[in-house]
């Protein structure tokens, strides 16, 4: 099964993905076999149902949002390139990468891009602001059904109040970055993809 899966992936593709995302060859093949195992319809792309079939993801409070993050705007299918592009955000930051040429643009797994990914999970309507409602939604999902709305609202208000520096009652991306400056995002938002 594994060899059959990897044979569907061409060398040029692997090279391109490697350049774009920074994954190693073995990591890409391993993730491709995972992609393949998720892809029940065998059409080379994943749909939302494929993701929802993953058991733990259903229990995850942010499950739906995470699934949505894989799909580009308005599409219902994600191919392997898109899959890898999303996963590239979670590659650990390596020190030697800082020396690579800056002209290729910021790598997908930089601190900024990691935070941007997280920000996009909050900000569903893509207006580059986390409004109070969006925050409330997320809080509600994480906390469960036990807490009253007014309580949650108060927490949300407090959160925005803490972060908001320009007084627009919502958290912009720069405010988001600032609030998390003490958090070790590089480590928290990294997954060790085994070689």
Partner 1 sequence: MTARTRFCGGLLRISRALRTVALSLVTGCVFSVHASFGAVHGDNDTSHSSGHGTHTKTHNTTYPATRAFPVLTVNYDHVRKPFEISLWILLASLMKLGFHYIPRVSSVVPESCVLIVVGLLVGGLIRLLGETLPVLDTQLFFLCLLPPIILDAGYFLPTRPFTENLGTILVFAVVGTVWNSFFIGVVLYGVCQIEREQLAAVDLLACLLFGSIASAVDPVAVLAVFEEIHINELLHILVFGESLLNDAVTVVLYHLFEEFASEGQVTVVDACLGMVCFFVVAFGGILVGTVFGLVAAVTSRFTAHSRVIEPLFVFLYSYMAYLSAEVFHLSGIMALIACGVVMRPYVEANISHKSYTTVKNVLKMWSSVSETLIFIFLGVSTVAGPHSWNWAFVIITIFLCLISRVMGVVGLTFIINKFRMVKLTGKDQFIVAYGGLRGAIAFSLAFLLPSDHFPMKNMFLTAIITLIFFTVFVQGMTIRPLVDLLAVKKKKQTKFTINEEIHSQFINHMLSGIENVCGHYGHHHWRDKLSRFNKYYVKKWLIAGERSQEPQLISFYNKLELKQALLVAESGSAANIGPGLSSAALLSAQSQKQRTVMKNISKEREEEIRKILRANLQKTRQRLHSYNRHTLVLEEEDEWSTVQLRRQRVELEKRMTHYLTVSASGWDSPPVRRARFQSDSQEYMAKPSAPVSIPAINMELVSAPPGSLALLEEVTDQAQQSQDEGCGMHANSHEEKSMKPNVTFALELEKQKLSRCLSDPGPNKIEVEAEEKEHFLS
Residues that bind partner 1 (CB under 8 A): 31, 34, 37-38, 51, 54-57, 59-63, 66, 70, 87, 90, 92, 95, 118, 121-122, 138-139, 142-148, 150-151, 153-155, 157-159, 161-163, 176, 179-180, 182-194
d(CA 180, CA 192): 22
Nearer CB in complex with partner 1: 44/61 = 61
Nearer CB in complex with partner 1: 8/147 = 147
Measure the CA dihedral 189/101/120/85, to 10°: -80
Minimum CB separation from partner 1 for residue 146, in Å? 4
Nearer CB in complex with partner 1: 18/132 = 132
Three-state SS for 128? Answer: coil
Give the 3-state secondary structure of 68-79: HHHCCCCCCCEE
Minimum CB separation from partner 1 for residue 105, in Å? 23
| CA 149 from centroid of its chain's CA atoms | 28
Minimum CB separation from partner 1 for residue 103, in Å? 26
Nearer CB in complex with partner 1: 104/172 = 172
The number of beta carbons lying within 10 Å of the beta carbon of residue 78 is 23
Minimum CB separation from partner 1 for residue 54, in Å? 5
Residue 170 CB-density burial (10 A; 0-12 exposed, 13-18 middle, 19+ buried): buried
Nearer CB in complex with partner 1: 14/141 = 141
d(CA 118, CA 112): 10
Minimum CB separation from partner 1 for residue 27, in Å? 10
């Amino acid at each position: 099964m594994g060899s059959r899966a990897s044979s569907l992936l061409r060398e040029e593709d692997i090279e391109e993905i490697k350049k774009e995302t920074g994954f190693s060859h073995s990591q890409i093949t391993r993730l491709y076999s995972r992609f393949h195992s998720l892809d029940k319809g065998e059409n080379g792309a994943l749909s939302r149902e494929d993701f929802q079939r993953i058991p733990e993801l259903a229990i995850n409070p942010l499950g739906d949002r995470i699934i949505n993050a894989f799909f580009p705007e308005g599409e219902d299918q994600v191919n392997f390139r898109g899959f890898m592009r999303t996963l590239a955000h979670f590659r650990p930051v390596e020190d030697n990468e800082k020396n690579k040429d800056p002209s290729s643009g910021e790598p997908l797994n930089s601190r900024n891009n990691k935070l941007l990914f997280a920000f996009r999970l909050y900000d569903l309507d893509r207006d580059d602001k986390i409004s109070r409602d969006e925050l409330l939604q997320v809080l509600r999902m994480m906390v469960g059904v036990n807490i009253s709305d007014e309580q949650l609202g108060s927490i949300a208000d407090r959160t925005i109040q803490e972060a908001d520096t320009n007084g627009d009652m919502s958290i912009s991306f720069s405010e988001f970055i600032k609030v998390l400056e003490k958090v070790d995002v590089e480590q928290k938002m990294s997954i060790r993809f085994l070689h």
